[in-house]
Chain A
Amino acid sequence: MTMKILVPVKRVLDYNIKPRVAADGNGVDTQGAKMSMNPFDEIALEEAVRLREKGSASEVVAVSIGPQAAQDVLRTAMAMGADRAILVKTDQLLEPLAVAKILKIIIEREQPGLISMGKQAIDDDMNATGQMLAAMLSWPQATFASKVTVADNCAEVIREIDGGTEVISVPLPAVITADLRLNEPRYASLPNIMKARKKPLETIEADSLGVDLTPHLTILKVEEPSERKAGVIVKDIEELVSKLKTEAKVLP
C-alpha cells in the first residue's frame, strides 16, 4: 500500500517536570525547563510506524509547529521511526484552531491517507486539534482510539468512551486521535537517534502559509489551584455515604 501517514507532534513541557505558574501570572514557567514530545503524540507516532511496519502504509511524516527548538522533537520522531519531518516555524504561541489551519495546508500539500495524532497536548489539555482539523478537511474522525485496524481503505477503530468502548469504521482519509491504551511507544534507541540525524527535515516559515494565526482567546490570568483544605471527620459509614450522595454528589 502506498499510503502516507502524517503525524503532528507538539513540543511540550516534559511530563516529569512539575509545572510552576510564572510569577507574573501570565502562564506556566517553561524557560530553561526540559521540553519533550507530547506523550499522546508519541503514541500516535508509534501507531503510525507500526502500520507502516505491517505494510498498511508506506511513509510516516512527522510535522511540528513551533520554535526552532521543536526540531528536537522531530528528530526524536524520526528516531522512533518517522521517515521525514516538517517543521512549521513560528515563535508565536498558537491555539489549536490556528494549528489545525496550518496542518490543513500541510495536508493539502502532502496528501496523506491518514492523520494519526495525540488526543490532546499535556500543556493546554484542550483536546480539540484533531477534531477541528477533521472538520476543516471535511474528513471523518475517530477520536480517543485504543485500537486501530486498517483494511480495505477503511480504519476500524476502538474508541475509549465514558464507561467502555465503542467500535466504529471510518473510510480513509481520516483523522485518528490516540488515547493512552493504544500502544506502548518504543524507545528512541541510540543507533536510531544517530541515523535520524541524516533523515530529511524541512523547515517552512508559518508566516509564509497565509494563515490567519490571530488568537481567538485572550489569557487573562494563570494561577495555581488553591491548596486543599482538611474536611470533616464523620462518625460512621452511614454519615459518610449520605454525605457522598447528597453533599459531594459523587455517589448516585
Chain B
Amino acid sequence: MPWKFSEVADMQPISAARFGAGADAILMQRRNKRYVIAAAYAAMLALVIWSIDVTVVKDTDWERIGSLAEVMESVNRFVGIDFELFSNLLVPTIETLMIACLGTFLGLILCIPAAWFGAMNITPYKPVTYPLARLMMTLSRSIHEIVWALFFVSVVGLGPMAGVFAIAVRSVGFIAKMTAEAIEDIDHGPVEAIRAAGGSPFQVVYYAILPQVLPQIVSVVIFEWEINIRRSAVLGLVGAGGLGLVFFRQMNTFNFHGVTTVILAILLIILMGEAVSYFIRRRLI
C-alpha cells in the first residue's frame, strides 16, 4: 500500500503499549537466535586457537629464540649503517629506479592492445578479442612479480632486462583493466561526430576516445609506477637486477648493518617516487 502524507492525521496517537504482543514475538525470535550466535562465536574462537597452536606454537623453534634479552640483541644487530656500502649502492639504486620506469613504460605499450581488445564497446571482434584481453589481464595480475621475474630470468638470463620484462608484464593487468573500464564509460557523442565527419577508426580513437580517457590513464600509470618502484626493489632476490641483489648479498654475509643500509636506500627511492607522483598529480589532475 503506498503511504500518503494526508493519512498521517488520521493515525492514532503514539502509544507503545498497543504493540505488547508483537514485541513478545520478536523477543522470542531473538532469544532462539542467541544460542546460534553464541555457538558461532565459540567455533570461531576454537578455530583461531587451533591455528595458533599448530602454526606458531608447535612450529617454532623456541629454544633457538632464547630469552627476551637474546631477542632484543638479535634486533639490535640491525641498528646501524654500513657507510662503506654507499659507493656500491649508487648504481643498483639507479638501476632499480630504471627498471621501474622502463617496466612501466613497456607495460603501457603492451596495454594498447589489451585495453583496446578489453573494452566491450570498441573491441574488434567480441567473441574472440574480448576474452583474449581479459585472459591477458588476469594472467598478468594473478602471477606474482617474483614468479614473472624467475620466468624472465630463465628466458633472457640474469640482469635488469629480466626485471624490466617482469615489471612490464605484471603492470599490464591493472593499467589495461582501468583503461578498458574508462573506455567503456566514455560519452559516445564525440565518437559519433568523428565517424559522421568521415573519420577512420584510428581518428575515432585519437580524437574521440583518447582525450576522454587520458586523465584516468595518466593517474593509473603514475600509481602503477609508484608500486613498480617497490616491486623492482625486490626483483634482485631472484637475479633480475637492482637493489634486491645487494640486499641478498648482505643477508648472506651476515652484514646486518648493510641490510639496514639497503632498506634505507629502498625507502629513499620509494619516498622519492611518492613525492614525484604527488607533484605530477597536482599539476595534471
- Asked if A and B bind, the verdict is no
Which residue numbers of B lie inside 8 Å of A, CB to CB? none
Which residue numbers of A lie inside 8 Å of B, CB to CB? none
